Chain A
Amino acid sequence: MASSEQNETRAGDLTSLLEHPKYKEMLAYGFNNQEQVHVAMLVYLYLSEAKQWEELDVQPCPALQLVTLSGRPTQADDLQVLVPLGKQTELSPQRLRDFLTHVPLPQDELELEEPDLMTKRVTLAICDTDSTVTFYRIRDGFVPPDPPEIVAEKKAKKRQWKKRKGQRTQH
């Protein structure tokens, strides 16, 4: 994967990333944070292409001066809000609570009811230098871990999902 010819194409790829329409859209928000926009772009590509999320969109968060993503993996899942961050981004407990307070809720959620800002769930999409992304969910208050029955259930579901995916790619 690392031949000199491929190196040239890699440089070319990078340029094409910068020309991605979504990237341009994010830049247009006017936050002076190119690094975060870059990370947001990587997360966007990862979720839309690699994970094939059904719904995915970008939106600005002026209060935090950050780009955020919102979407859902399948139609059956709940809408999630994600904050892309580089692994070296400095975060304090206060900053995390700011995320919970200021991250914009997608429109349809707002229509439901007066949402208690602090009961929001935010997913941090933490990106490493090699573009690996890890996802962690933060919430206000106490979220007990899943009881053993649920853990077993989730494992079984995952196995099923992987199986189905495997079958799909075989076609």
Chain B
Amino acid sequence: MIDLYLCHGNVYVWNASAACDLRERHRIVGTFVGALPRLPRQNVRLGRPLQLMPEETTLLLNKGIARLLDGNIPPKTGEDAAQAVTEHRQQSFREQAEICRNDRKRKLHEMASVIAKGRAAKRKKLAQKEKADDESSSSVSTSDVTSSTWDEHEEEEEPRLSVEEMKELEAKLEKTTGYNEQAFLVQIMTEQVSEETQETIPWNYPTTDTEALRCHVFQDLWEKGYFLTSGGKFGGDFLVYPGDPFRYHSFYIAVCRPRTENMEALDIVRLGRLGSNVKKTVLLCSESETGEINYTSLQWTGMN
């Protein structure tokens, strides 16, 4: 069940997977109206919340796909709520500390060979320095022997840290890895931490005949398998797509009119002209006497 939130007369979807679900499984597109946290200073790509048209909401509620909740309820405050947040944050810090420690350990093991090489090189240097000192003061023969065997030994195997050395380094790591709250990431909540059951609220759309006609047409077209979005940009009620709007241009501009409402022939010209300029067919939708939706396609012939 997808949760929809009614907030100041608009219906929003906040959950990301719900928004994806709506589009992929239920062919409900909606419009993203929120700023993207990482790309705030533009409005080419917007993010959640997803705002739904009233017709989309009506359809989802009628089909039992979603439920409507009150989005106006402010988050809970008070001792319990503050406690829950603090606990949640402490838990997050503990987890982060653990991850940090394990990360450093892993790095240590990765660097083991490098450390070993470094230590071996250092020892070699020291040995050579001693050798030089010895040569300048004591007999040549003994130091020659010792230093030459030492050198041979080094070149034979690759330097590795012994188990004791490793343990020593790890112990040092434990000491130096502190619990620094300043360095941890803090999650900014977009939902309440504590689970709460919410009651659904009523949805009062459609109320007028015009609205009812729009809803009926929307549902009918949706049931036929089309994707529908708002048609305001093209002077109609809906835009009708044969597939996902991301991949297709719309084919039709749906214009809803009551069956017996008169318009001038000039209005037909207006609609037709609009449609032909944008390479779409205007679809005049009206409800028949028997309650089904009739569609009349309007196209410019270009005979002029």
Contact = CB atoms under 8 A, between A and B. Distances in A.
A136 B264 contact: no
A88 B272 CA distance: 16
B264 A93 contact: no
Q: For the side of the interface on A, what is the size category?
A: 35 or more
Interface in B167-212: none
A85 B295 CA distance: 21
Interface string A129-171: 0000111111111111110000100000010000000000000
Given A90-B262, A136-B300, A124 B268 contact: yes
Interface in A68-108: 73, 85-97, 100
| Interface class of chain B by DSSP | mixed
B294 interface: yes
Given A88-B266, A92-B260, A136 B299 contact: yes
Interface stretch (B19-27, B33-41, B107-115, B251-259): B251-259
A145 B282 CA distance: 9
B224 to A, nearest CB: 9
A126 interface: yes
| Interface class of chain A by DSSP | mixed
Interface in B278-304: 279-281, 283-284, 286, 294-304
A68 B1 CA distance: 56
Contacts of B242: 144
B44 interface: no
B269 A87 contact: yes
Contact of A145 (B263, B264, B279): B279
Nearest to B226: A142
A158 B302 CA distance: 10
Given A126-B268, A144-B281, A139 B261 contact: no
Given A138-B298, A140-B295, A51 B268 contact: no
A40 to B, nearest CB: 14
A142 B240 CA distance: 11
Interface of A: 51, 73, 85-97, 100, 123-124, 126, 133-146, 151, 158
